[in-house]
Structure 1
Amino acid sequence: MTASNSLRTLAAGLVLVLSTTAAFAAAPAPTPFTATYQVSQGGQVIGEAVITLKSAGNGQWVYSNQTKGTAGIAAALGANSAETTKFRWNNDAPETVSYHYSMDAGFKTKQRHTEVNWGTGQVTVDEGKGPMTYASTPGLVDRNTAPYAIGLALRSGKQAVALPVAVKRNVETQEFKVTGKDAVKVPAGSFQTERVVRSDNESAFNAWYAPQKYPVPVKLAQSDGGNLELQLVSYKSEK
């Protein structure tokens, strides 16, 4: 794999990894946390991802995913990516208010900014080439908070969920379902998990959740785009 492909895989794959919300019944309010993941490709560790959830006050929350290349080409070229979502807690579920993505791979940079105006029902996406606007959908999330929203759905007992996700030009309905139960061992420990796939595109998302312990996956594998795998190293609730 070329340096460019490896960096694209690290940045884009991690984005999709941690890429879902709908109205979930009686979900508890968010609890701030920090989750750290080991990122591997082809069995080799290439990076680290740190996900945090913090209160922004006034019923809003900030969900951040900071990824850094720590080995191989990704480290040599200083490949880093960052995603930050502000969401509101509405009808016992997250709804995206804004989303920002940036990737710096030394010789290449990329960014995307998304704003959701819930007053006018409009989504605006700008990648630096001029804004694009389209209609929002109730329960809208972005690719950064999708895995978190899936975890909340599993915690409330759902076995399948269709999520409206804001992508570049439109709202895309992404479908996820539980396909089995697996024993999984990761650096954070051993867990009995529920295996979740994206049923409308199975190569795009395969994740293992222990939903009564954590709202995010303990393991995630993505074959589309470079065989990336994330494994949970630590999880800390912030009181």
Structure 2
Amino acid sequence: MRSIALLTITVLVLLGFNGATASPDLLKPYKAQYQVSRGTFVIGTAEISLTLSDQGAYNYRGFTTPVGLAAVFRKDEITEESAGQMINDKIVPERYRYHHKKPKKLRQVNLEFDWQTKRVTNQIADSNWSMEIPTGTQDKFSQQLSLMLSLCRGEKMAEFEVADGGLLKTYRYTEVAREAIRTESGEFDTIKMARHKEGKPSNTAIWFAPSLNYLPIKIAKHEKDGSYVMELVSITWETPAN
């Protein structure tokens, strides 16, 4: 399930807290269903949703659970959530939550961003730490929204500093191809991006569909225990919250 969780992440510069609202032409609220496969077997499902308010507040949430034979052996449920503000068309995370529920154990990670002091506080079980962060730092989940915004602006490369595992890590995304991709939800022209973490060779590729407001419709990740793929099954566009 850790590999499934990494797939759901899988996705900037802060210009100041002036209360600017989000551009209506960029991110749109939605609820999407994905299936997660390993080889020819579907091993999990993921629901990812984005809510936006008229004032620019966002909530980005993913919920992953095993299905089929995988559910017989694993009862894990993973919830990942990022919340914050969209200011001047930039993502500004304020808090991040990761809950990995196992039959006999619950792993929780909680991050709180303080942009006045430019520090992030992380709480894992009984451990707390705080570190200094530069302007534009993302959490592991909000970086996908920032990448979608970069693609909306026509950028072919994006780089983010991410608060990840008690460290500040650099994630770089580069365009590698334009491809037509078919999933259960239909066929789409896509932009294929490769993800590089800390300058290491890429083991993750993400396909974004411009016709779906640059929503990721496919994510492929290669792990030591095999290759995992997450593909879009359905999407529902929502209305912004007040």
What is the TM-score when the length of structure 1 is the normalising length? 0.87
Structure 1 position 56, deviation (Å)? 5.4
Within the alignment, does 1:189 sit opposite 2:189 as a pair?
no
Gap change, CA 1:69 and 1:238, over 3 Å in 2: same
**Superposition pairs for residues 43-192 of structure 1, below 5 Å?**
43-55=40-52, 58-192=55-189
Q: Percent identity?
A: 25
Q: Deviations over 1:52-78 (max 9, x none)?
A: 111356432111001111122345432
Q: Deviations over 1:156-200 (max 9, x none)?
A: 100001111111222212111001111111111111111100143
CA RMSD of aligned residues (A): 2.2
Alignment check: 8 A CA contact 1:61 1:87 kept:
yes
Structure 1 position 150, deviation (Å)? 1.4
1:40 matched to which residue of 2?
A: 37
Gap change, CA 1:97 and 1:172, over 3 Å in 2: same
Please, which of 4, 7, 21 is the counterpart of residue 10 of structure 1? 4
Distance 1:39 1:75 in 2: 16
What is the TM-score when the length of structure 2 is the normalising length? 0.86
Q: Deviations over 1:2-61 (max 9, x none)?
A: xxxxx33333x33xx42354469x964532111111111122101111111113564321
Q: Which moved more, 1:57-66 or 1:87-96?
A: 57-66
Distance 1:23 1:222 in 2: 30
Q: Which moved more, 1:185-194 or 1:53-62?
A: 53-62
Q: Deviations over 1:96-123 (max 9, x none)?
A: 1000000112244311000001121110
Gap change, CA 1:212 and 1:51, over 3 Å in 2: same
Gaps of 5+ in 2: 16-21
Q: Which amino acid aligns with 1:143?
A: K
Gap change, CA 1:99 and 1:56, over 3 Å in 2: farther
